[in-house]
């Protein structure tokens, strides 16, 4: 495990400009050996450019990239110890599956029995054993992707780069491939660096995620830290669904804090936030962390919510929108202030979805450790 | 009609409507009737080529026995083969260059490359005549070097067609394939050989077919560039027709038709179906 702390890719103050457009703006980050690293961001945020610079298809305007301690300046893509799985898979249409997988070995001069064994091993790894003689046009999109994976893995790269690997697959297959990719990564022990705009994909596969916004790293953290402790409004909003309310920090002690939000009312926390007193801050509250009640349950709610030293987190509203999603129901509730808040509620029994309907008056509470105070 | 129409006609089954069948029939008739007339009358046992007087193959024997005609055919095939190879290389390289690189005057070159297609053939012919006499192109070379002038002229009007078909094929190329090959260790030449050439192969076959047939049946430009020793097949046929249209001309033409049909069919069989599947 000592090996996992070793950075395999070091990106140091890298910027990339296309004419006047800055795609990547002074990014520095380390990717550790053996981890599943995800670059997550909206389209056009520079994450693909970053990946292509690691592969060598784009050159940094400034800064440098080190792979396994070696500066990559002046090293073309065909000489780098990384391999890439392309978004379109880029499987060679005129070659059979086996020839596709063997292509890199052929270029590298690996011949005969060894090449054959390695191709068979790689195909076995992606569960395509027996497909050797198939042509790519006789395969489904998912199978073609496995060919692309095997074609890269057979080279035994230090790092495998994947550009939006699951975007072209349908939902069911995507979920399955998420698991398979994680499993594969553990099995081969190669560092995976994946680019995606899909937060579910990132959360389910990654060891660590770098959220990229406008060419810069907005936050680098583990999936659960990213979700539970977002560093700013962009991350909170981009990863998962969230309610954000603007407010003023009125109390900030080591063990308690309070934020006065015009939209939501007073929000109590059971921990300090170490922000400047009276500062403008934002409260981020995830929909699933809000409990929904019929107004009559007031006393029980009060008791449940009394976990902050100075008060309890409570709000009233009226249901303005509902969407039943099977496992959960999403509610859009108009608060007394006129602001709206989203609440999700698990359907624990078959009749749970009948508890509430449009225009019902409801009350809500949440625990004092649920809201996240954001300073930016 | 009712005999075949067992199931009701589906909305888009136009091939089962009477008007469509008549239309297709008419098109076929206009396209192929002259050719069939020519081929049938090559077996006509008559010196004048108007009335049918019985079956014979003697005009084929006569055509094959006509040394000048055979020599013209050999000349034509040689020129076509040489022009095709040269046009393929020139045209494909030009197409790849225009697609791949940025260089000064690219727009001008891009436009100028298709000029030989646009300029009337008669002008090209005269231009070549003047050009070759201006540079004192030797006319007394031994075969096949004496075909040089015609071959050069043919390359000029064939290679833009190759460039055209190769470029349209290149437009469908997925650049990620090139990057994938590089990513797997290939250098520029290996990318070209292993990825780009296989991609444009159908266009190369189509371009070769086009060049070969264009060169084989060209009359105007050849007429201006050929000398007394370098008669090609179309020029020879023309000079024979000037005296009289005998079944011998028909026989020679029939041979040429069959030759091109076989070539096309072979090329299609060799490349056609697979190439279409590869483009997906």
Best mutation target among B174, B181, B184 (most A Cβ atoms within 10 Å) is B184
| Residue B13, pLDDT score | 83
Is some CB atom of chain A closer than 8 A to the CB atom of B197?
Answer: no
Clarify whether residues A73 and A206 are in a common domain. Answer: yes
Instruction: Quote the CA–CA distance of A148 and A166 in Å, as a whole number.
Output: 12
Clarify whether residues A315 and A333 are in a common domain. Answer: yes
Average pLDDT over every residue of B244-256 = 84
Clarify whether residues B24 and B107 are in a common domain. Answer: no
Clarify whether residues A59 and A105 are in a common domain. Answer: yes
Clarify whether residues B19 and B102 are in a common domain. Answer: no
Clarify whether residues A179 and A223 are in a common domain. Answer: yes
CATH number at residue A198: 3.40.50.300
Taking the CA of residue A77 and the nearest CA in chain B, the distance in Å comes to 5
| Residue A307, pLDDT score | 65
Q: Is residue B1 part of a domain?
A: no
| pTM to 2 decimal places | 0.81
Instruction: Give the residue from A240, A238, A290 showing the smallest Cα distance to A47.
Output: A238
Instruction: Give the residue from A306, A299, A298, A293 showing the smallest Cα distance to A345.
Output: A293
Taking the CA of residue A90 and the nearest CA in chain B, the distance in Å comes to 5
Clarify whether residues B190 and B265 are in a common domain. Answer: yes
Q: Is residue B5 part of a domain?
A: no
- How large is the angle between the packed helices A171-188 and A141-153, nearest 10 degrees? 10
Per residue in A146-181, pLDDT tens? 999 999 999 999 999 999 998 888 888 888 899 999
Clarify whether residues A348 and A288 are in a common domain. Answer: yes
Q: Which residues of A touch B182 (CB under 8 A)?
A: 57, 76-78
Clarify whether residues A303 and A347 are in a common domain. Answer: yes
Counting residues of chain A whose pLDDT is more than 90, the rounded percentage is 74
Clarify whether residues A175 and A84 are in a common domain. Answer: yes
> Are B177 and A92 a contacting pair at CB < 8 A?
yes
- Residues whose CB falls within 8 Å of the CB of residue B49, separated by 6 or more in sequence, listed in order: B41, B245, B246, B247, B250
Best mutation target among B185, B196, B197 (most A Cβ atoms within 10 Å) is B185
Q: Which domain holds residue A24?
A: 2-236
Clarify whether residues B134 and B223 are in a common domain. Answer: yes
Q: Is residue B9 part of a domain?
A: no
Taking the CA of residue B183 and the nearest CA in chain A, the distance in Å comes to 5
Reported confidence tier of residue B271, pLDDT bands at 50, 70, 90: low
Instruction: Quote the CA–CA distance of B35 and A30 in Å, as a whole number.
Output: 74
Per residue in A267-298, pLDDT tens? 988 888 877 777 889 999 999 999 888 876 66
Clarify whether residues B47 and B71 are in a common domain. Answer: no
Clarify whether residues A297 and A172 are in a common domain. Answer: no
Clarify whether residues B51 and B145 are in a common domain. Answer: no
Q: Is residue B240 part of a domain?
A: yes
**Nearest by CB: B183 against A77, A93, A137:** A77
Q: Which domain holds residue B41?
A: 15-56
Instruction: Give the residue from B179, B50, B166 showing the smallest Cα distance to B114.
Output: B166
> Are B179 and A84 a contacting pair at CB < 8 A?
yes
Taking the CA of residue A160 and the nearest CA in chain B, the distance in Å comes to 11
Q: Is residue B197 part of a domain?
A: yes
Clarify whether residues B151 and B81 are in a common domain. Answer: yes
| DSSP H helices in B42-147 | 58-65, 67-100, 106-112, 115-118, 121-134
Clarify whether residues B199 and B260 are in a common domain. Answer: yes
A93-97, A174-178, B77-81: which has the minimum mean pLDDT? A174-178
Reported confidence tier of residue B245, pLDDT bands at 50, 70, 90: confident
ipTM of the complex: 0.84
Clarify whether residues A100 and A231 are in a common domain. Answer: yes
CATH number at residue A277: 2.40.50.100
Tokens representing B92 are: 């494909």
- Residues whose CB falls within 8 Å of the CB of residue A246, separated by 6 or more in sequence, listed in order: A261, A262, A263, A280, A281, A282, A283
Count of the separate structural domains present in chain B: 2
Q: Is residue B2 part of a domain?
A: no
Clarify whether residues A276 and A333 are in a common domain. Answer: yes
Average pLDDT over every residue of B161-172 = 91
Clarify whether residues B21 and B94 are in a common domain. Answer: no
Clarify whether residues B163 and B237 are in a common domain. Answer: yes
Instruction: Give the residue from B202, B217, B197, B189 showing the smallest Cα distance to B79.
Output: B217
Count of the separate structural domains present in chain A: 2
Q: Which residues of A touch B181 (CB under 8 A)?
A: 92, 103
Clarify whether residues B49 and B112 are in a common domain. Answer: no
Q: Is residue B208 part of a domain?
A: yes
Q: Which of A207, A236, A265 is the last residue of a domain?
A: A236
Clarify whether residues B37 and B76 are in a common domain. Answer: no
Q: What angle do CA A343, A346, A351 make, to 5 degrees?
A: 115
Q: Which of A185, A201, A236 is the last residue of a domain?
A: A236
Is some CB atom of chain A closer than 8 A to the CB atom of B190?
Answer: yes
Q: Which of A215, A236, A257 is the last residue of a domain?
A: A236
Is some CB atom of chain A closer than 8 A to the CB atom of B280?
Answer: yes
| Residue B263, pLDDT score | 78
Decide: A126 and A153 in contact? Cβ < 8 Å. Answer: yes
Clarify whether residues A37 and A130 are in a common domain. Answer: yes
Clarify whether residues A231 and A253 are in a common domain. Answer: no
Q: Chain-wide mean pLDDT for chain A?
A: 91
Q: Is residue B201 part of a domain?
A: yes
């Amino acid at each position: 495990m000592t090996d996992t702390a070793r950075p395999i890719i070091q990106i140091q103050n890298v910027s990339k400009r296309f004419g006047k457009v800055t795609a990547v703006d002074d990014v520095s980050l380390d990717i550790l050996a053996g981890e599943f690293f995800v670059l997550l961001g909206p389209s056009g945020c520079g994450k693909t450019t970053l990946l292509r610079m690691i592969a060598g298809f784009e050159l940094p305007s400034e800064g440098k990239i080190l792979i396994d301690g070696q500066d990559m300046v002046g090293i073309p893509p065909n000489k780098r110890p990384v391999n890439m799985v392309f978004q379109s898979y880029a499987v060679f249409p005129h070659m059979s599956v086996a020839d596709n997988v063997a292509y890199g070995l052929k270029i590298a001069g690996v011949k005969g029995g060894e090449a054959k064994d390695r191709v068979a091993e790689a195909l076995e790894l992606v569960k395509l054993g027996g497909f050797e003689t198939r042509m790519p046009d006789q395969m489904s999109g998912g199978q073609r992707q496995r060919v692309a994976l095997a074609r890269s893995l057979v080279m035994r790269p230090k790092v495998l780069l994947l550009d939006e690997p699951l975007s072209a697959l349908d939902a069911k297959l995507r979920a399955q491939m998420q698991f398979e990719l994680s499993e594969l990564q553990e099995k081969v022990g190669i560092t995976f660096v994946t680019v995606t705009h899909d937060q579910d994909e990132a959360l389910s596969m990654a060891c660590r995620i770098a959220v990229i916004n406008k060419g810069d790293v907005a936050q680098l953290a583990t999936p659960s830290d990213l979700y539970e402790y977002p560093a700013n409004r962009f991350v909170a909003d981009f990863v998962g669904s969230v309610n954000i309310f603007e407010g003023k920090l009125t109390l900030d002690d080591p063990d308690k804090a309070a934020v006065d939000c015009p939209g939501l009312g007073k929000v109590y926390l059971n921990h300090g936030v170490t922000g400047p007193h009276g500062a403008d801050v934002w409260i981020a509250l995830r929909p699933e962390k809000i409990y929904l009640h019929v107004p009559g349950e007031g006393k029980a709610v009060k008791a449940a919510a009394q976990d902050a030293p100075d008060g309890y987190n409570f709000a009233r509203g009226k249901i303005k929108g509902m969407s039943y999603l099977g496992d959960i129901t999403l509610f859009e509730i108009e608060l007394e202030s006129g602001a709206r808040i989203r609440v999700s509620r698990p359907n624990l029994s078959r009749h749970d979805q009948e508890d509430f309907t449009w225009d019902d008056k409801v009350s809500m509470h949440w625990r004092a450790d649920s809201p996240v105070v954001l300073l930016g | 009609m009712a005999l075949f129409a067992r199931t009701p006609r589906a909305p888009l089954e136009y091939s089962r409507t009477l008007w469509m069948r008549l239309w297709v029939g008419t098109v076929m008739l206009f396209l192929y009737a002259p050719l069939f007339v020519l081929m049938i009358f090559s077996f006509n046992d008559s010196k004048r080529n108007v009335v049918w007087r019985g079956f014979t193959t003697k005009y084929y024997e006569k055509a094959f026995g006509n040394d000048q005609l055979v020599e013209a055919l050999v000349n034509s095939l040689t020129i076509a083969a040489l022009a095709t190879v040269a046009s393929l290389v020139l045209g494909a390289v030009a197409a790849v260059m225009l697609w791949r690189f940025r260089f000064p005057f690219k727009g001008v070159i891009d436009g100028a490359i298709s000029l030989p297609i646009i300029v009337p053939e008669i002008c090209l012919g005269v231009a070549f005549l003047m050009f070759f006499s201006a540079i004192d192109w030797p006319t007394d070379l031994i075969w096949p070097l004496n075909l040089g002038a015609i071959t050069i002229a043919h390359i000029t009007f064939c290679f833009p067609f190759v460039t055209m078909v190769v470029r349209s094929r290149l437009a469908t190329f997925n650049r990620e394939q090139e990057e994938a090959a590089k990513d797997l260790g290939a250098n520029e030449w290996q990318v070209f050989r292993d990825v780009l050439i296989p991609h444009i192969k159908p266009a190369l076959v189509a371009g070769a077919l086009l060049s070969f047939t264009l060169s084989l049946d060209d009359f105007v430009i050849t007429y201006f560039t050929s000398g007394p020793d370098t008669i090609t097949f179309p020029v020879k046929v023309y000079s024979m027709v000037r005296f009289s249209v005998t079944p011998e001309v028909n026989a020679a033409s029939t041979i040429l038709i069959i030759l091109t049909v076989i070539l096309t069919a072979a090329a299609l069989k060799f490349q056609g179906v697979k190439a279409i599947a590869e483009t997906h």
